[in-house]
Amino acid sequence: MQKIGVVGCGLMGSGIAEVSARAGHDVVVAESSQAAADAGLARLTKSLERAESRGKIDSAQDVLSRIRVIPDLQAMADRDIVVEAIVEDEATKVALFKQLDEIVTSPDAILASNTSSIPIMKLAVVTKRPTHVLGVHFFNPVPVLSLVELVPSLLTADETTEQARSWVEGSLGKHAIDCQDRAGFVVNALLIPFILSAIRMYESGFASAEDIDQGLVRGAAHPQGPLALADLIGLDTTKAVAESLYEEFKEPLYASPPLLARMVDAGLLGRKTGRGFYTYNK
């Protein structure tokens, strides 16, 4: 797989595009508008220039020469694998997979989703190639974190999973783990209840956000606390994943606390908006 397609050039999509181009692949990223494409290219340029300044890569411009960011989904037609990295909303992703199934010309091309919680089967069954659909879930920041979850549905061909594994491990140098097609997969099924528990603790007045986070950083050797992590993930994404988990399992530990819902309604989404459980310089 040499021709890589990515749909969406936000934090995750730009990261997937970057690591693919750094591995020598020809990368095309589709965005919804020219303004979004320009913003995505600027995000990629900034990240690659930072990597060059730190000696991680030889030339940012050399990597950028292998990436095109354009507002045209039709550009996915000749790709060997297309990774969807758009908003964490089931209806939006389903609609996109219907489009990609019509656009991507090779019947052997893989359609992958970077979803963090939505069952892959719901995306696979709206295509005419369910054997070539699977989840390939990267973690933020993609250039730094080595883990990728591979999530085949009940209909995914073994060959498809192995092709994805070869790309993720052999080309990108990541570490893949296998997950069943259940909402949240491995990491978020463990992580989200932990974050929600911290939010409930803060909401109840039991402890301050700083003390909750410092308790886990200094007492459990976590690199950052759960509330700071929620801000990094995005509170809207945290809420969306929690809702997907609750919809699947109906377990109270997956239910969003009222405070999380109110913060999302208020647009206090964490780092990307400048304010969540902490305040940031955008």
The structural domains of the chain, ordered by start, are: 3-178 (3.40.50.720), 188-273 (1.10.1040.10)
Least confident of 18-22, 173-177, 187-191: 187-191
Mean pLDDT of 81-91: 94
Measuring CA to CA, which residue among 48, 2, 57, 3 is closest to residue 29?
3
- Average pLDDT, rounded, for the chain: 96
Q: Report residue 281's pLDDT band, with 50, 70 and 90 as the boundaries.
A: confident
Q: What is the mean pLDDT of residues 258-276?
A: 97
Q: Annotated catalytic, 137? A: yes
251 is catalytic: no
Q: Residue 282 above 70 pLDDT?
A: no
Environment class of residue 204 by beta-carbon count within 10 Å: exposed (0-12), middle (13-18) or buried (19+)? exposed
pLDDT at 262: 98
Q: What's the pLDDT score for residue 116?
A: 85
Phi-psi group of 27: left, alpha or beta (phi > 0 → left; psi -120 to 50 → alpha; rest → beta): beta
pLDDT band of residue 81 (cuts 50, 70, 90) is: very high
Choose the catalytic residue: 47, 116, 153, 256.
116
Mean pLDDT over residues 111-131, rounded?
95
Residues 113, 114, 188, 244: which is the catalytic one?
188
pLDDT reported for residue 140: 87
User: Does 90 qualify as catalytic in the annotation?
Assistant: no
Cα dihedral angle (94, 99, 105, 106), rounded to 10 degrees?
0
Label the pairing between strands 81-84 and 3-7: parallel
Select which of 137, 153, 243, 244 is catalytic.
137
Containing 245, the helix (H) or strand (E) segment is helix 235-249
Q: What is the mean pLDDT of residues 190-212?
A: 97
CA distances from 116 to 90, 120, 149, 171 (A): 11, 10, 9, 22
Nearest to 13 by CA among 76, 60, 102: 76
Model confidence pLDDT, tens digit, residues 237-251: 999 999 989 999 999
Kindly state the percentage of the chain with pLDDT values over 90. Answer: 93
- Mean pLDDT value across residues 47-57: 96
Q: What is the mean predicted confidence (pLDDT) over 108-134?
A: 95
**Catalytic-residue membership of 162:** no
